[in-house]
Structure 1
Amino acid sequence: MPRPPIIPRDTLVDCHPWEPTDFVRQAELAAAAAAPPPPPPEPEPEPPEEPPISEEEWQAMLEAELANARDEGRRDGFAQGFQDGFEQGRRQGEEDSRQIAALMQSVREAIDQMNGSVAEELVGLALQLAQQFLRGALRAQPERILPLVREVLGDAPTAPAPAMLRVHADDAELIRQALGTELAAAGWTLVVDAAIERGGCRVQTRFGETDATLQTRWAELTRALGRDTAWIASERVEAERVAGGALHVA
């Protein structure tokens, strides 16, 4: 009896020892081969078609585009118009400035050509207006006298008796309320003087007198301007002076 052929081990590739589970695997493979193939995948649904644009919608879209174009053109035109207007205004302003400068130069030349009498009259009128302005300012702001009093008394904060601060009656009340404690502590006596116009004062001590009345300060101012224009006392002060208003302690 011939011997069966011997197959070398290294030529056996997909061989393995038989096991009982091989029957199960074979049955599964046979069932899989007999099963029908899976159905093909369903095609993806096509996107719905957009409905056709109606004539009204088309007209609305067209009008919107036209409106946007008009707005853009208007903005561009406004920017250009603004720039043109700015340049025109600048040129007009320069022309106005030149005309005003020429007018002021003409006025200065006319003043230079005036004779002396006219110039003196203008200066006198200006000083009268300044008096009226100063008197009105003191009535509107009577507290302006407080810095003056502090300045006048600053040179002698503690004065030997008798030391008097003479002021108008209306100013006396204001000074007493604002500086009464300081004046009393420094030895000053507040005295009402009907001859002093509101806004001025006099300081009297054993060593002399300081005149800070409006009349005196005005005279110093006008002398500095090369003139000698007297201060015109108010009608009220003049009436009190004529009536002989006496001094009395406030």
Structure 2
Amino acid sequence: MPRPPIIPRDTLVEYQPWEPTDFERQAAQAAAQAAPPPPPPEPEEPPISEEEWQAALDAELANARDEGRRDGFAQGFQDGFEQGRRQGEEDSKHIAALMQSVRDAIDQLNGSVAEELVDLALQLAQQFLHGALHAQPERILPLIREVLGDAPTAPAPAMLRVHADDAELIRQTLGTELAAAGWTLIVDAAIERGGCRVQTRFGETDATLQTRWAELTRALGRDTAWLASERAEAERVAGGALHVA
């Protein structure tokens, strides 16, 4: 192996170590000044105490319970609403079916029930009117005034036939008017109280209760006789006495 060449000492210059130039030093200083300072270290969080940890846990549990209750209440409300709606629909169907059954029963009984109700109403009307005419005999006065209004001046003979109990009241109340108009008041035992019969030479007007009642019942499709008093019935059987009041 060949040996390296030996450099003579007198040919060597003095050795100097390498150092950065002034320009390089200035550039390094400028870069160091321009760079932002490093951020301060973040402070360490203090350790959580056992009380704080327990309070946070309790708060989380409370929130979870509240949320569970809200969800359960909403679901329960929805379920209850649906159940109530279905029950309401079922009840409505039952009520509708019941009403239809009632209507069908009424339609089937309508004819016979209506007939019975009309008969009952007529019977009650007879009893009421019969009692009212005896309790309030002045009810005949409007009828007499109506008769006089239709024929205020009747040519003789003109007779007004009434029941004996009505004759006294008519004579006291309308006696002067009847006499002035040429009417003769006649008591007729065959006439029920509350009615009258008018006779002139032009004809006769039957305004007895029996006749008026028959007209009313015929209009209702009935043929119900008037409930005559025992006294009038007995006097009719006896022949019906007449006399001038």
Q: Return closer, same or farther for 1:23/1:103 CA change in 2, 3 Å cut-off.
A: closer
Of stretches 90-99 and 175-184 in structure 1, the one that deviates more from structure 2 is 90-99
Of 193-202 and 147-156, deviating more is 147-156
Match of 2:44 among 40, 49, 52: 49
Please tell me whether Structure 1 or Structure 2 has the larger radius of gyration of its CA atoms: 2
| Change over 3 Å in CA distance of 1:63–1:39 after alignment to 2 | closer
Q: How far off its partner does 1:183 sit? A: 0.3
Between 25-34 and 118-127, report the one with greater CA deviation: 25-34
Secondary structure in structure 2 of the residue aligned to 1:226: coil
* Superposition deviation, residue 232 in structure 1: 2.2
* CA shift in 2, pair 1:124/1:50, >3 Å: farther
Q: Is the counterpart of residue 22 in structure 1 residue 17 in structure 2?
A: no
Q: Distance in 1 between matches of 2:64 and 2:174?
A: 76
Contact 2:235 2:241 in 1 (8 A): no
Between the aligned partners of 1:159 and 1:18, the Cα distance in structure 2 is 169
User: Normalising by structure 2, what TM-score?
Assistant: 0.57
- Deviations 1:180-214 (Å, cap 9, x if unpaired)? 00000110000000000000000000000011000
Where does structure 1 lack aligned partners over 5 or more consecutive residues? 42-47
Gap change, CA 1:66 and 1:38, over 3 Å in 2 = closer
Report the equivalent of 2:185. Answer: 190
Question: 8 Å contact 2:161–2:188 — kept in the other structure?
Answer: yes
Residue 128 of structure 1: how far off its partner (Å): 0.9
Partner deviation per Cα, 1:32-82 (whole Å, 9 max, x = no partner): 9999999999xxxxxx99999999999999999999999999999999999
Q: Which moved more, 1:121-130 or 1:142-151?
A: 121-130
The answer to which of 14-23 and 210-219 deviates more is 14-23
Distance of aligned partners of 1:106 and 1:198 in 2 relative to their CA distance in 1, 3 Å threshold: farther
Show CA shifts across 1:4-53 (max 9, x none): 99999999999999999999999999999999999999xxxxxx999999
The more displaced of 69-78 and 229-238 is 69-78
CA RMSD of aligned residues (A): 17.7
How far apart, in 2, do the equivalents of 1:11 and 1:200 lie? Answer: 180
In 2 relative to 1, CA 203–27 (structure 1 residues): closer, same or farther, beyond 3 Å? Answer: farther
Larger deviation, residues 2-11 vs 83-92: 2-11
Deviations 1:53-112 (A, max 9, x none): 999999999999999999999999999999999999999999999999999999877543
Choose 126-135 or 86-95, whichever is displaced more: 86-95
The number of residue pairs the alignment matches comes to 244
Shift of 1:228: 1.9
Aligned equivalents of 2:13 and 2:178: distance in 1? 130
Deviations 1:101-128 (A, max 9, x none): 9999998775433163443233212211
User: Among the aligned pairs, what percent are the same residue?
Assistant: 91
1:16 and 1:194 mapped to 2: Cα distance? 176
**Offset, 1:155:** 1.3
1:7 counterpart SS class: coil
User: Which stretches of structure 1, 4 residues or longer, exceed 6 Å deviation after superposition?
Assistant: 1-41, 48-109
Distance in 2, Cα, partners of 1:15 & 1:187? 182
Given the alignment, which residue of 115, 128, 135 partners 2:130?
A: 135
Task: Normalising by structure 1, report the TM-score.
Answer: 0.56
